[in-house]
Amino acid sequence: MNAGWGGPQQRPAYLPPVSNVPVGNSTDWEALALRNQQEDQRRLRLKIGGGVIGVLLVGGMVAGALALQQPRGGRTAASGPSRPAVAASSSAGGSASGAAGGPAAGASPLADPGSPTASPTASRPAEVADSSGRHPLSPGPGAVVGPTDGYSGQTLVLNSSPDAYAESSSALVDTGKSFTVSAMVRNNAPTGGRSVISQGSDSYYSFDLGRDYWANHNQWVFKVQTAAGAQDNTTYQAFSKTPATTGQWTRLTGVYDASAKKISLYVDGQLAQSIAVKGIWHTSGPLQVGRVRYKSAWCDDWDGAISDVQVWGQALPAARIAQLGSGGAGGSGGVPPTAGWLLP
């Protein structure tokens, strides 16, 4: 007879073979099925856990590889650039060039006013006072007043930028009459035209005292315009005998003698050159320190320091100018200036 399972060899698939079950013992088939189910779940959990660990291991390997590619030490691009070294440069916007309070021995190069090495007492004042109290200069936002290496007095420190200058509120020199302009200067630029003192109109200068530079030409200069029209052929120039210096304090003086019809340049109190002129084009623009107007644009921005700036409404004689160069007679040549700034 059949045992009720469709014959003696037919049993449900989830039950163990009959030959493994001892005769006379009853078996808990539900418990066996539960244990099989729990074993399947345990294997599934092991598979899932192994997959997660594998993913974590791969992620760690990728992160390590990326870390090895990063630069070690130093400044990264995200940190921002460091401040570049300051180098002297030629002026932008074209060029018009085609004792007490005096220099000290062993002068070192002028510090950049924007660098951390600039004098802690340097400042950007609202104005530069005139010795007479009547004609203060208004400094541009890039001008700094303070001590400079190699000089015992206060200086106007300019860095060759378009906003580094100082100017008066009106014309201080009557270019139709005799006059003298003078200053102690330190040029830091190896190239480019540079202006110390000038005065002119909206289009052109009447006179300019500074450094003339082009090709192999590098000389101190005092130049004037003899007529309107902004033409170079109306320019008359008195030059120094030797090249303009860099990194050294120098006294420059320009003189116009209206009665003698000549201009003269003095370097450190010594006459460099005098030339005849027809006269000087009369203009009414303000006095400029550290820049000049040329063909309707500012140019020849000064790079360095300027001090002891003085203006006289007369042509000082050579003996008085020699006193300027030596620092004698209080630095004014024995003749009180019409206006003076940063005097010793």
193: domain range? 138-341
pTM of the model: 0.69
Q: What is the 3-state secondary structure (H, E, C) of the chain?
A: CCCCCCCCCCCCCCCCCHHHCCCCCCCCHHHHHHHHHHHHHHHHHHHHHHHHHHHHHHHHHHHHHHHHHCCCCCCCHHHCCCCCCCCCCCCCCCCCCCCCCCECCCCCCCCCCCCCCCCCCCECCCCECECCCCCCEEECCCCEEEECCCECCEEEEEECCCCCCEECCCCCCCCCCCEEEEEEEEECCCCCCEEEEEEECCCEEEEEEEEEEECCEEEEEEEEECCCCCCHHHEEEEEEEEECCCCCEEEEEEEEECCCCEEEEEECCEEEEEEECCCCCCCCCCEEECCEEECCEEECCCEEEEEEEEEECCCCCHHHHHHHHHCCHHHCCCCCCCEEECCC
pLDDT for 36: 57
Instruction: Please say if the pLDDT value at position 21 is more than 80.
Output: no
Instruction: Please say if the pLDDT value at position 343 is more than 70.
Output: yes
Instruction: Please say if the pLDDT value at position 37 is more than 90.
Output: no
Query: What pLDDT, in 10s, does the model give residues 76-124?
Result: 222 233 222 223 333 334 567 764 456 654 444 444 444 333 455 667 7
In a domain, 244, yes or no: yes
pLDDT for 272: 98
In a domain, 101, yes or no: no
Number of domains present in the structure of the chain: 1
325 or 207, higher pLDDT: 207
Given pLDDT bands bounded at 50, 70 and 90, which one contains residue 73? very low
Query: What pLDDT, in 10s, does the model give residues 244-285?
Result: 999 999 999 999 999 999 999 999 999 999 999 999 999 999
pLDDT for 39: 63
Among 89-93, 180-184, 193-197, the minimum mean pLDDT is found in 89-93
pLDDT for 344: 85
| CATH value at residue 307 | 2.60.120.200
In a domain, 88, yes or no: no
